[in-house]
Homo-oligomer: A and B are copies of this chain.
């Protein structure tokens, strides 16, 4: 019998979940919920119903795990603690500073309803967090580094688009190769924000707009660009569509540390990902944790969990024997 999965929210992430379910034989998509008019939505999987988000609770007994695909700014802080009253849920809440608060709210609701809610699943938070934890546990005397990119930052792209005279734009975050090499050498450097990443912007300006002024406004924008070396390229709308419509991303988690009686030996642990599609990869991580949620719930585990709390074997469709034989 398959694990019955529901998707709440059908944007890029929701579509990614749908694609990931297709790759996993033990999972089955049983419903998609949307805040749009359900009849306006065409999904990829044949024969799966689309319902209004308002009707979700009526379907609670048909769904083993509900995957929440909303945004972290306003959707998830309300949705996860609401839906965990009725469903086992997974979210990808990624506002790092607010995770403790989100955890408490979801934990309280989940313990009451005796459901499980796994929060902040994806790659950062998610796989990057796991790698930080493992590397810290192995090398207690060391230093962590996280680099993001090369990849599209949605927040920075949005910020560009708010600049007067800008029609459209896309921003790439790029790790500085020299900084990466320095970290990999094990020298434990202190790196400033500017030394770690550069930002590259592709901007479509309105006809007759003051490009010098746009470039200066972008480069000096506080929080978003002022602390970075930023490059601005003006391109046509066609070029933006042709060359920059993908959502690639990636990054690096590196810990370097010392061992030995006198800390005489250096070690470097590096985890990196290179993604053609950020939402599809995030979705693939989430779907593996949906499997874990289902199994843990069946063992009687309830409350809020994070990737830190879940033994790796729960993520795999393989039996313990197969895992030991083929992957250990």
Q: A267-B273, A273-B267, A328-B96 are in contact. Are A127 and B134 (CB under 8 A)?
A: yes
Among the stretches A49-57, A62-70, A221-229, A280-288, the one at the interface with B is A280-288
Query: Which residues of B sit under 8 angstroms from A288, Cβ to Cβ?
Result: 137-138
User: With an 8 A cutoff between CB atoms, is A202 at the interface?
Assistant: no
| A270, B272: Cβ atoms closer than 8 Å | yes
User: With an 8 A cutoff between CB atoms, is A103 at the interface?
Assistant: yes
Nearest-CB residue, chain B, relative to A313: B308
If over half of A's interface residues share one DSSP class (helix, strand or loop), that class is named, otherwise mixed; here it is: helix
Query: Which residues of B sit under 8 angstroms from A20, Cβ to Cβ?
Result: 259
| B284, A273: Cβ atoms closer than 8 Å | no
Least CB distance, A323 to chain B, in whole angstroms = 5
Q: A276-B265, A324-B99, A328-B125 are in contact. Are A137 and B315 (CB under 8 A)?
A: yes
Interface residues of A (CB under 8 A from B): 16, 18-20, 22-24, 44, 96, 99-100, 103, 120, 125, 127, 129-134, 136-141, 184, 186, 259-261, 265-277, 280-281, 283-285, 288, 291, 306-313, 315-317, 320-321, 323-325, 327-328
Please measure, in the bound complex, the distance between the C-alpha atom of A80 and the C-alpha atom of B134, giving whole angstroms: 25
Least CB distance, A13 to chain B, in whole angstroms = 12
| A270, B267: Cβ atoms closer than 8 Å | no
Query: Which residues of B sit under 8 angstroms from A136, Cβ to Cβ?
Result: 316, 327
Least CB distance, A286 to chain B, in whole angstroms = 10
Nearest-CB residue, chain B, relative to A184: B274
| A261, B22: Cβ atoms closer than 8 Å | yes
| A261, B103: Cβ atoms closer than 8 Å | no
The listed residue with most B CB atoms (<10 A of its CB), out of A268, A310, A313, A315, is A313
Please measure, in the bound complex, the distance between the C-alpha atom of A315 and the C-alpha atom of B125, giving whole angstroms: 19
